[in-house]
Chain A
Amino acid sequence: MTIKVLSEDVANKIAAGEVIERPASVVKELVENSLDAGAKRVEIELEQGGADLVRVVDDGCGMSRNDLALAFLSHATSKLTTADDLFSVTTLGFRGEALPSIGAVSRARIASRQAGNDEGGEIECAGGELSAVKVCGIPPGTMAEAHDLFFNVPARRKFLRSSPTELSYISEIVTRVALSRPGVSFLLRHNGREIFNLPASEVIEQRIEAFFGREISENMIPITSAGEDMNVRGFILPPGVDRARNRMQFAFVNGRYVRDVSISHAIAEAYRGLMAPKRHPVVFLFIDILPELVDVNVHPTKIEVRFRNRQAIHQRVQRAIRNALRESHHVPAAVASTTGHEPVMQSHVSVEPSTGGFEESRRESVRKALEGFFESHSPRESGPPPRYVHPAPQGADQTVNTSPPITKAHAQAATVRIQPSGADAQSAQGPRFFQIHDSYIVEETPDGVNIIDQHALHECLLYHEIRKRLREAPLMSQRLLVPEVVELTQAEFLAVQGLKEEFEKLGFELDDFGASSIVIRAFPQMLDQFAGARMFRDLLAQVADAEGSSSVADIADQLIKALACKGAVKAGQRLSPPQMKALLERRDRADYSRRCPHGRPTTFSLGLRDLQKEFERSG
């Protein structure tokens, strides 16, 4: 065995795996280079989700022909000279790795001209093979393109997803960069179709509105917190304008989009007690910090950074958000007040009641459930404390000392049977089941008892029914009187494009409406209530979870699961005896019912034997 030094070409292919994962990574690197070059306008052109072509044209400082000769060389960068510079990076790039990595796995070409030069130059790099620098005519600035990504690494090429999906990753990347630089104009085109056209703007608000719609831009609350070595500013959204996923939390550190656990945690802490369960706040955070206090060289794609003082960041972020929430009266004190003003609702954007209200009503319903349960199923003593003056064992009640001693007549009070008005009286020989906590059905079986999670069971039945029905025909669509316009993020919009057929099979009737909105004309009849934009986004978010697995069939299945989940009765929903009966009968007819589509059990059974054992009876 001989030890060989890997050729630079091989080394680059390996490294490229880290930096260049998919077309979106190419876009990110090229756009970052443009921004580092001081571009004021960046145009991105894509073909086939970027797999066939990514082209980025900028009006930045450009490169000389000498620079061009070096651009594709490993560790060639103009942005750092000494290792110490690494501790005060102010540019997005600094490793001199991006272009060689792109050149190693695609047919890349860069043409560039500096404003002072009459002629520009161009260089190509295909699969790591460098060409000579040639003279070429080009307006000042740089054009960098990558054709046929992974043409020489078939295994990776195969792993690229459908072009709408790749496009949605790219649009996510462009969204982040564009949010970090409102002063730069961006144009994104895919197969000749314009996807974004964002003019430069002094303020970030316009850009946020362009990406996320008025629901977000009109409800934003500004936050600021200035300090000596750090500034925190940005916008937050009140509880209620929230999301099922935490993807709408954007944090930028010195103009670089980052994901950071301490920032995420600080956001979660700031909203603690205000969010409904499983909802996530929407936050745009811009942190400016002295470059020496943050290490950007920790992750191949630079998406993570390391703060010298994490605690300080955590504290600042949390406080800034909390203060803004307090000033805008979203702190618990205001939320808990019982005046219950209904929140504002805009045209087609539903803003849900503030979460305090949510929680309160949820708590209320749980309490109601418990109460109803105990009133109808347990011995009288466990009811609420009696307000009557019962015949006390010894003399008068201490708290009512002015009242005369209780006479025999009072005893009548105790015999009045107060029937809770909401109690569903079940006839003695009727079906042997009842609901507890508005969430579980307790059912007597010949040899024991079943405790059934009503949501899980219904979801499971629906899931299998939908699948069965879909084998024969699409689901029924309930048409809407007024078609509902839903503003989506570009990524969501593209996801919908890729899944249109699946949505239609499930009974949705969708049409494009402008660049990133869709119109819902009909929805699955199965969904008893159509909650509009919010519900549609939730569906999308659930589907997005399946994106890891690549086949359309898998995603369609995820969509069916999501629909079953939306269509099923909720935990906390009171069911009438006929409703429970119908559910149990359907279960009896169904083939599958023990586990919900997410794999959780629907039913917990307890045998008579177990009961006998518990009570130490010898049966």
Chain B
Amino acid sequence: MKLTCQRKELNEALQILGTIVSPAGTRPLYSNVRLEATKEAVIVSATDLEVGAKLKIPVEKVGEEGVVLVPHSHFSAILRETTASDLEFTEENLVMDVRGGTSHFRILCEGVDEFEDVTGFGDGPAVEIDREALAEMIRLTAFAIAGEEGPFALRGVLLSISGKNIEMVGTDGRRLSRVKKKVNNPEDATMQGIVPRKTLDLLAKLPGDAGGALALRIEERQIAGATSKGELRGQLIEGQFPDYERVIPKSGKIKVDMPVAQFLSCVRQAALITTEEQPAMRLTIQPGKVLFEAESADVGSADIDMACDYQGEECSLLFNPKFLIDVLRAIAEEQVRFEVTDSENAVAMRAGHNFVHVLMPITEGAGSGR
């Protein structure tokens, strides 16, 4: 193999693949990236057998085609540390010389025989969506999914496509985010799957042209994505996603419009005084203002006011401030509509036409009042 390639682009590709490769020492074969030189481009790919990505970097000149496995850790470190703008790669008998400026590295490679390469995007009905729009949908939902201890089916975002609509839902049982957008669906395909966190992160990061589209297909067990510069394929989570429609309140008794930035700032301030084990903050909506209060036996207390134009009865709820911070940070709109039914039921936070976040309050303990 022999080629010359821009260091910067290859470096970026390797950074993305870095989230996929297995840490050295666990599955040695898959701590490598596959580096292939074809006539038009260099293709680097990596997989952990759950998710894999294939990125294409246009090259100045491919001297000789070929394919090898290169250890990701050293390869990416070299790309990071060297300063030359172009690097020249020459590989022969599994030894690769990397030259750039005054530096010269020699890396021992491995053959690709046993490596299970990432299957490409393939054929079949697919939809197209703006890359940035998809990244935004992921940002608005992925934070709400369950962690590694949580129920299985909730460890990913439910992605559904039907007609011109794409919808993503993430929930951990206490809060839920749903966002909808439009897609280009030429074959009018209907598809659905639960996409794990790692794959979502990669989808959001998959490089492509600015303003370009991303093609998406959900197959029986896998999801595939493709842009002009890369392809991705990952396993779906098999499981039954809860019936989420019914947990989204139709409309609350109390509705208040709040400026997101100020809301976030108030919650953050109140959160400074919460206890470690039971972080709780009281949010009280009163005529003309919203009050944020927190108290901790060891530290002290906090109360912060925020003006708002609300004229109705008073209502007060307890929340884990972390959950409010998570959603407020994700919202790009300036205003959020806060809808409350009562202190024991879910509140809905709506931003724009397409986003709703549902959050369950904390109660002071079922054992207290009854």
Contact = CB atoms under 8 A, between A and B. Distances in A.
Contacts of B50: 340
B24 to A, nearest CB: 6
A340 B346 contact: no
B71 A387 contact: yes
Contact of B276 (A400, A419, A478, A586): A586
Contact of B174 (A368, A402, A478, A508): A478
B26 A479 contact: no
B360 A371 contact: no
A329 B93 CA distance: 40
A618 to B, nearest CB: 42
Interface string A531-542: 110010000000
A371 B24 contact: yes
B287 interface: no
A482 B49 contact: no
Contact of A529 (B103, B150, B153, B240): B150
A476 B81 contact: no
A478 B340 CA distance: 17
A479 B361 contact: yes
Contacts of B176: 481
A367 interface: yes
B30 to A, nearest CB: 8
Nearest to B75: A387
Nearest to B247: A481
B240 A465 contact: no
A339 B49 contact: yes
Interface in A486-500: none
Interface residues of A, number: 71
Interface stretch (A123-131, A220-228, A300-308, A408-416): A408-416
A278 interface: no
Nearest to B148: A529
A350 B237 CA distance: 13
A387 B77 contact: no
B312 interface: no
A505 B277 contact: no
Contacts of B147: 528-529
Contacts of B174: 478-481, 530
Interface stretch (A33-41, A162-170, A209-217, A341-349): A341-349
Interface string B330-370: 00000000000000101000000000001011111111101
Interface in A298-339: 338-339
Contacts of B244: 481-482
**B interface, over-half SS:** loop
A476 B320 CA distance: 10
A481 B278 contact: no
Contacts of A504: 365-367, 370
B344 A479 contact: yes
B357 to A, nearest CB: 11
Interface in A189-213: none
A230 to B, nearest CB: 39
A522 interface: yes
A462 B235 contact: no
A340 B238 CA distance: 12
A342 B152 contact: yes
Given A388-B106, A504-B365, A371 B92 contact: no
A447 to B, nearest CB: 28
Interface in B81-132: 81, 92-93, 95, 102-108
B149 interface: yes
A459 interface: no
Contacts of B236: 342
Given A413-B106, A416-B77, A484 B173 contact: yes
Given A476-B365, A482-B173, A344 B106 contact: no
B58 interface: no
A303 to B, nearest CB: 37
A138 interface: no
A148 to B, nearest CB: 35
A481 B360 CA distance: 6
B285 interface: no
The 5 closest A-B pairs by CB, nearest first: A474-B365, A345-B239, A504-B367, A474-B367, A509-B366
17 contacts: A341-B235, A342-B152, A345-B152, A371-B23, A371-B25, A388-B74, A402-B93, A413-B105, A416-B78, A416-B81, A473-B365, A479-B361, A504-B366, A507-B366, A526-B278, A528-B147, A529-B172
